[in-house]
Amino acid sequence: MAFNVTDNIINNEIDVLPLSSEEYTFIGTVLLIIIIFGTLENGSVLIVFLKNKQLRSTTNCFIISLAVADFAMCVFAIPVSMSSNLANRWLWGDVGCTYEGFMVYFLGLSQMYVLCAISVDRYIVIAKPLYKAKITNRVACVSILSCWIGGFFWAIMPVFGWSSYDKEAQGTSCTIVWQSGELSVKSYNITIFFMCLLFPLSIMIYCYYGVFMTVKNISRNRIWDMNSRIARRNLQIERKMAKSIALMVGTFLFSWVPYAIVSFWAAFGDASMIPAIASALPAILAKSSTIWNPIIYFLTNNQFRSALIRLVPCANLKRYLLGKVEKDDQQDSDTFKTTKLDTTYQTTNKINPSATISTISYNQKQDT
């Protein structure tokens, strides 16, 4: 591959960049697309929650926090790397490098911790409904603030000497220094790998597995006829929660784990084996996480979907989309009404008291 040679006017030196001009332009274009879609999507999410007070539940406070972080990533962080890629060279000097590295890590780590907090919230509400009342708006706000403080703490440490920020292999974006034999760098890399990846990921898996198993057990232990409201509600919850679990965990893994693997290999393996383009693509994938969450909200939350559609300026299109949403909801309801299971359910003479109490308690909590 022919190297791209450019003049670094800021540092008054010549940089030999490892990618071609076409590759830098491609990366810059992809980042521009992420900025446009991420800004529009997350901006729409914030507008929907701002205009619809009934959507601002305790759980949705976490969703709003995610949207704020994603919006800030698109507006304040990604443009730095995008502009440098389109210019085929780093434009912002050492201060700009520290700024971009800090912002990306601060917002990215904050999002991870908020996702972790959401999983704990879902686990308590569904698997431990008796404790649901303890999750007040105040508790949610304190949890969110703790998540942002945690992200800020790990991101600010390199600024004060525990590791540092420097340009990545492709030379047009900045991150934590991975390739160094210094004790401060190695200790920091090991710490954030466990505290900022394995720790939140483990909690998410544990909580969502607990949620899934709880809903599944409730459905299996029910004693009501399949045409009853409670039975249909349980089936609907099980289906929606399974979808949400797959989307949330899958998106997290899809966006961040490839970047973590490449970074960990660069830190503790042979970094020379990683081509510059191979190190750039996982970073782009991680930044693309800003566009997935609004799509998940839209696909899995009927209230949010209807509220967002009401923002559509074209009356005819708005009417058509709202009608489609209502039709889809009706089809789901009809599906539950006609569903037949092969399992033979217990009669009222063989009621399992513990199953009955737990199911009734669960549905009462959900109704409130």
Residue 46 lies in a domain: yes
Asked whether residue 78 is assigned to any structural domain, the reply reads yes
* Residue corresponding to tokens 């005819």: 316
For residue 157, being part of any structural domain is answered with yes
pTM: 0.80
Q: What is the pLDDT of residue 134?
A: 86
Give the whole-angstrom CA distance, residue 89 versus residue 301: 42
Q: Specify the pLDDT at position 25.
A: 94
Structure tokens at 270: 């042979």
Number of structural domains (the chain) is 1
The helix (run of H) or strand (run of E) holding residue 176 is strand 174-176
- What pLDDT was estimated at residue 219? 64
How confident is the model at residue 345, as a pLDDT? 41
User: Alpha helices, DSSP H only, in the chain?
Assistant: 21-51, 58-72, 78-87, 93-127, 137-156, 183-193, 199-221, 229-268, 276-287, 289-300, 302-309, 315-338, 353-367
- Successive 10-residue mean pLDDT values, the chain, 368 residues: 45 58 94 96 93 86 92 96 94 95 94 89 84 87 96 96 92 89 90 90 88 76 56 59 68 84 82 78 90 85 83 79 72 52 40 40 44
Residue 234's pLDDT is: 56
pLDDT of residue 229: 64
What's the rounded Cα separation, in Å, for the pair 199 and 259? 16
Distance CA 257, CA 37 (A): 22
pLDDT of residue 208: 82
Domain coverage including residue 135:
4-339+349-367
What pLDDT, on the 0 to 100 scale, is given for residue 10?
A: 38
DSSP assignment letter at 269: S
Instruction: Give the CATH number of the domain where residue 296 resides.
Output: 1.20.1070.10
Specify if 248 maps to a domain.
yes
pLDDT at 337: 52
pLDDT score of 82: 96
Torsion over CA of 142, 42, 107 and 21, rounded to 10 degrees?
180
Domain assignment present for 344: no
- Which residues fall within 8 angstroms of residue 155, CB to CB, at 6 or more apart? 102, 105, 106, 109
pLDDT at position 227 is 53
